[in-house]
Structure 1
Amino acid sequence: MFATVSHEMEVKVPASKAWRLYSSLKLANVVLQKLSHLINKIDILEGDGGVGTVLRLQFPPGTPGFTYYKEKFTKIDDEKRAKEAEVIEGGYLDLGFTLYRVRFEVIEKSEDCCITKATIEYDLKEEAAANASIVSIQPLVLIMETAADYLTVNDED
């Protein structure tokens, strides 16, 4: 069972500025600082933020379903401003998912405005179809809102 879910948000900063955050490990730092109730620890196991980087995300006690997963950056396209990461261990894979991929995109709207888009693509074994209900775009929406707040208050360029 393959499905996708996505969300878009307008951000009043240039696409190049938003992409500098989304394409780097700095996004993980911003998430940890502002959303510790969502993710309480991120360890870099391999890499420097480029394709092949592996992160271990640990979730607060009481998070429904699982306590951690490892994800690997599988695509970072500076031209299209798209970044993809796939769960490679734990988390969703332990619940019958055969694929759980997150994609962030930054789309230029005007010189000083862009659209950030988050997409979840997943594939689930038929016998675990009931677990599709745990897939939620809401945590990514919170990350996008946090990133938008960070981008509009910080003048880094």
Structure 2
Amino acid sequence: MGVFTYESESTSVIPPARLFNATALDGDKLIAKLAPQAVKSVEILEGDGGAGTIMKISFGESSTYGYVKKRIDAIDKENFVYKYSMIEGDAISETIEKISYETMLVASNNGSIIKRTCHYHTKGDVEIKEEHLKAGKEKASQLLKLVENYLLEHQDAYN
């Protein structure tokens, strides 16, 4: 098994606590509400929403995938750190065992700095293609903008 690590950093105009509440604590359900063409439904299969929880996310018509199972690995509300893994589904190919994500939000003068680390756990010595990473980063960026716009329009949400 190989592990391919990809790191990225972006910014948001939303402060860390509010962004964490919207993206980490309620992100899947919020995306399903804001972009039903991307996420059709979110179902908790095991757990209470905390670490160890397993969810099934069914994608909408605009996605090339049908579903994925996600396991929440850790939630640190005080330090705005959220860790989860995609463990099953057609978004996980026959060459990838799982994809683990760690997102940390850090306060900045203008909102938040979003630091994200992705670990692709591959079966064998499979190489992750740059276009796959670029497509995932672009989709994540679009979803973040969608959430930011929602939070800017709804100042009382997720405070």
Structure 2 counterpart of 1:126, which letter? G
Residue 140 to residue 127, structure 1, CA distance change in 2 (3 Å): same
Moved more, 134-143 or 81-90: 134-143
Decide whether the 8 Å contact of 1:5 with 1:137 is kept in 2: no
Cα distance, 1:151 vs structure 2: 2.2
1:146 is aligned to 2:146: yes
Q: CA RMSD in A?
A: 2.5
1:4 is aligned to 2:5: yes
Decide whether the 8 Å contact of 1:3 with 1:121 is kept in 2: yes
| 1:124-145 deviations in Å (ceiling 9; x for gaps) | 1236547775442222222221
Divergent runs of 4+, >6 A: none
Q: For residues 124 and 70 of structure 1, what CA distance do their matches in structure 2 show?
A: 17
* Structure 2 unaligned residues grouped into runs of 5+: none
Cα distance, 1:102 vs structure 2: 2.2
* Structure 1 unaligned residues grouped into runs of 5+: none
| 1:74-111 deviations in Å (ceiling 9; x for gaps) | 0111232111111222234442212301222211113x
Q: For residues 71 and 93 of structure 1, what CA distance do their matches in structure 2 show?
A: 11
Decide whether the 8 Å contact of 2:37 with 2:62 is kept in 1: no
Structure 2 counterpart of 1:147, which letter? V
Residue 96 to residue 137, structure 1, CA distance change in 2 (3 Å): same
Residue 109 to residue 130, structure 1, CA distance change in 2 (3 Å): closer
Report the secondary structure of 2:38's partner residue: coil
TM normalised by structure 1 equals: 0.80
Structure 1 counterpart of 2:83, which letter? E
Number of residue pairs aligned between Structure 1 and Structure 2: 154
Moved more, 123-132 or 15-24: 123-132
Decide whether the 8 Å contact of 1:7 with 1:141 is kept in 2: no
TM normalised by structure 2 equals: 0.79
1:23 corresponds to which residue?
24
Q: For residues 142 and 3 of structure 1, what CA distance do their matches in structure 2 show?
A: 24
Q: For residues 133 and 105 of structure 1, what CA distance do their matches in structure 2 show?
A: 24
1:123 is aligned to 2:124: no
Q: For residues 93 and 104 of structure 2, what CA distance do their matches in structure 1 show?
A: 27
Cα distance, 1:120 vs structure 2: 2.2
1:107 corresponds to which residue?
106
Please show how residues 78-89 of structure 1 align to structure 2 within 5 Å.
78-89=77-88
